[in-house]
């Protein structure tokens, strides 16, 4: 009976090897850069796999939840730095567009429509983040908008909101790009 459990444990451990090696590919096994004793949430990888952006309430930021970035160097995430687009309010839910040209996120920064709103900032070829712009009045409501997700071609925005009606509470909406802005959110 003991041999049977030993073989079962060995088989189970071998099943975990591909998972561990997959994490090692992204340098995730290193602690203290992306993963710290603070809260870390929703990470997004740049399309080239060389940068990771995530939300954290760790010390050293602008206040509340902030967006942080690290670069892959020698197979490990290194040099975690707070992004310059943070405010004293919360910045969360980062997402790189599929082409890597935009970083979308949620923020409760001053000047928004109310609660948490959705924003985007351009990203240049070197990974520098430009000026923040609101996703606009068609998306941002007096309620909270969170968790932006783009279609691969960037023409549809999926997001959560409690300010556009829906079934109640936070509901999922999809809006389409009209060439100028995301418009006409529809509850799923």
53-100 pLDDT, tens digit each? 999 999 999 989 999 999 998 888 999 999 999 999 999 999 999 999
The number of beta carbons lying within 10 Å of the beta carbon of residue 66 is 23
H-only helix segments in 26-168: none
Burial of 101 (0-12, 13-18, 19+ CB in 10 A): middle
Q: Report the distance separating Cα 156 and Cα 72, nearest Å.
A: 30
7-57 pLDDT, tens digit each? 344 334 334 333 333 445 555 545 678 888 899 999 999 999 999 999 999
Q: Mean of the pLDDT values across residues 116-145?
A: 95
151-187 pLDDT, tens digit each? 999 999 999 999 888 788 899 999 999 999 999 999 9
């Amino acid at each position: 009976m003991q041999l049977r459990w030993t073989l079962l444990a060995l088989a189970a451990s071998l099943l975990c090897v591909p998972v561990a090696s997959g994490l090692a590919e992204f340098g995730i096994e290193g602690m203290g850069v992306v993963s710290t004793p603070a809260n870390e949430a929703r990470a997004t990888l740049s399309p080239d796999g060389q940068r990771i952006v995530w939300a954290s309430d760790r010390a050293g930021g602008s206040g509340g939840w902030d967006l942080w970035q690290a670069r892959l160097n020698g197979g490990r995430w290194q040099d975690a730095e707070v992004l310059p687009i943070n405010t004293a309010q919360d910045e969360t839910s980062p997402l790189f567009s599929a082409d890597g040209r935009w970083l979308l996120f949620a923020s409760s920064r001053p000047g928004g429509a109310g609660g948490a709103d959705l924003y985007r900032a351009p990203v240049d070829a070197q990974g520098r983040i430009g000026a923040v712009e609101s996703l606009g009045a068609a998306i941002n409501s007096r309620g909270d908008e969170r968790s932006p997700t783009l279609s691969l071609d960037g023409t549809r925005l999926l997001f959560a909101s409690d300010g556009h009606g829906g079934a109640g509470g936070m509901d999922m909406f999809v809006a389409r790009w009209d060439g100028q802005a995301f418009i006409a959110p529809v509850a799923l």
